[in-house]
Chains A and B, each alone.
Chain A
Amino acid sequence: AQSVSQHNHHVILSEAASLELGCNYSYGGTVNLFWYVQYPGQHLQLLLKYFSGDPLVKGIKGFEAEFIKSKFSFNLRKPSVQWSDTAEYFCAVDGYNKLIFGAGTRLAVHP
């Protein structure tokens, strides 16, 4: 069965610190990979996605993610976080007709 693991459930950073959120998936076939973000009081929004091509994907607000097929990973990165990045981040894989989500990572950025 497909599954998605997000290793960090809670991350606390100071502004300007670098961010990397881990995501590993289990699925043997071709995958589409996503990161969604949910800001406090708002609904889920797409941050970035990978379907094919360049494994380094750039998304909105300075976020990027790298697909490493050999490691079944799709980690999310940002070189310098801001207080406004405080949110919950979800990694998801689309194997067949449905998104399988990780449990999410809550990021708190302190000024």
Chain B
Amino acid sequence: GAGVSQSPSNKVTEKGKDVELRCDPISGHTALYWYRQRLGQGLEFLIYFQGNSAPDKSGLPSDRFSAERTGESVSTLTIQRTQQEDSAVYLCASISDSTDTQYFGPGTRLTVL
């Protein structure tokens, strides 16, 4: 069956530009997460969506970061005025209500020059 998909797989951008990353969760998964993985580090929680509840934005590192999700479908993570320290792999995960387990997408590797 289809897993979590993310696009683009790689994104190279210039400092100061805005980028938008997309996540398609597994159908029927009500919860969706965004994480960031910097080189040589573990995963860093960014934001969490659960159904129609207000998202948990406690992990967003600055107001340049924002994310949206329409219902229980696609989510987009937007980074405005990108900085070099934003370079990382951005991972999306959706969670099965029945197994309470997160399933990860392949990630988007963002490089800010």
Which residues on A are within 8 Å of B, measured CB to CB?
4, 6, 32, 34, 36, 42-46, 49, 51, 90, 92, 94, 97-104
Q: How large is the interface on B (under 10, 10 to 19, 20 to 34, 35 or more residues)?
A: 20 to 34
Assess whether A99 is in contact with B33, with CB atoms less than 8 Å apart: yes
**Residues of B contacting A46 in the complex (Cβ-Cβ under 8 angstroms):** 101-103
A-B contact pairs, 22 of them (CB 8 A): A42-B106, A43-B104, A43-B105, A43-B106, A43-B107, A46-B102, A49-B101, A97-B48, A98-B33, A98-B45, A98-B48, A98-B56, A99-B33, A99-B93, A100-B45, A101-B35, A101-B43, A102-B42, A103-B41, A103-B42, A104-B41, A104-B42
Assess whether A90 is in contact with B104, with CB atoms less than 8 Å apart: no
**Residues of A contacting B50 in the complex (Cβ-Cβ under 8 angstroms):** 97
Q: B-side binding surface: helix, strand, loop or mixed?
A: strand
**Residues of B contacting A97 in the complex (Cβ-Cβ under 8 angstroms):** 48, 50, 56
Tell me the nearest residue of chain A to B59, going by C-beta: A98
Per the bound structure, the CA–CA distance linking A103 and B41 in Å amounts to 5
**Residues of B contacting A94 in the complex (Cβ-Cβ under 8 angstroms):** 100
Q: Mark B45-62, 1 if CB is under 8 A from A, else 0.
A: 100101000001001000
B21 proximal to A (CB < 8 A): no
Per the bound structure, the CA–CA distance linking A59 and B48 in Å amounts to 27
Per the bound structure, the CA–CA distance linking A45 and B33 in Å amounts to 15
Assess whether A44 is in contact with B91, with CB atoms less than 8 Å apart: yes
Q: Mark B1-37, 1 if CB is under 8 A from A, else 0.
A: 0000000000000000000000000000000010100
